[in-house]
Each structure stands twice: as structure tokens, then as C-alpha cells.
Amino acid sequence: MKLTNEDFKAFKDLVEVTLDEKIEEKGLVTRADISHLPTKDEFYAETAKLYKKMEDIEEALDIVNDRSSENRDRIEDLEEIHPGGRHAIAA
């Protein structure tokens, strides 16, 4: 008995269904499942942008902290010279 094209098609369909069931049963990930995710290069490019922004923010925060510290020191010096926020009246 010789197999026909219909026999091969039926066998192929049976194998596809069986494989799909096994993939589903084992919870395996398929290309269709991850098609919406970025490629590795896209992911790394976006990650690099985020790291750059984070570095810029940290640099700006350092500058603000330094200025804040300087201002705090100046205010403390002024408060020593002018207690209570008023000029000391010379007697």
C-alpha cells in the first residue's frame, strides 16, 4: 500500500496538533508569545538611554546638594552675625 499526498497531509496535521498540545501542556514559550517584545539591540539601546538619564539626574542632584550645603553654611554664618534675624544694635 502506497501513501498518498492526503495521507502525508493528514499525518502532518496530526503531528502539528500533537506538538501544539505538548507545547501548551508544558507551558513552553513560542515565537508568537514573544513577538511583541523588543529585540536584544532595541532593549540595550533603551537601557543605555535610561542609564544616561539616571547619570544626568545623579549629577544634577550632586550639584543641588552642594549648593544647598553652601547656602546652609551662609545662612548659619548670617544667623551668628544677626541673631533673631535682626541687626545687633550697638550700645
- Where are the chain's structural domains? 1-37, 38-91
> What is the model's pTM?
0.52
Q: How many CB atoms lie within 10 A of CB 34?
A: 9
C-alpha grid cell for residue 35?
513577538
User: Which residue in the block uniquely carries the three cell numbers 508569545?
Assistant: 33
Please, what is the Cα angle at 40 between 36 and 45, to 5 degrees?
Answer: 105
> What pLDDT is stored for residue 90 in this prediction?
53
Give per-residue pLDDT as tens, 40-88: 999 999 999 999 999 999 999 999 999 999 999 999 998 888 877 777 6
Give the whole-angstrom CA distance, residue 80 versus residue 18: 85
Long-range contacts made by residues 9-18, C-beta under 8 angstroms, separation at least 24? none
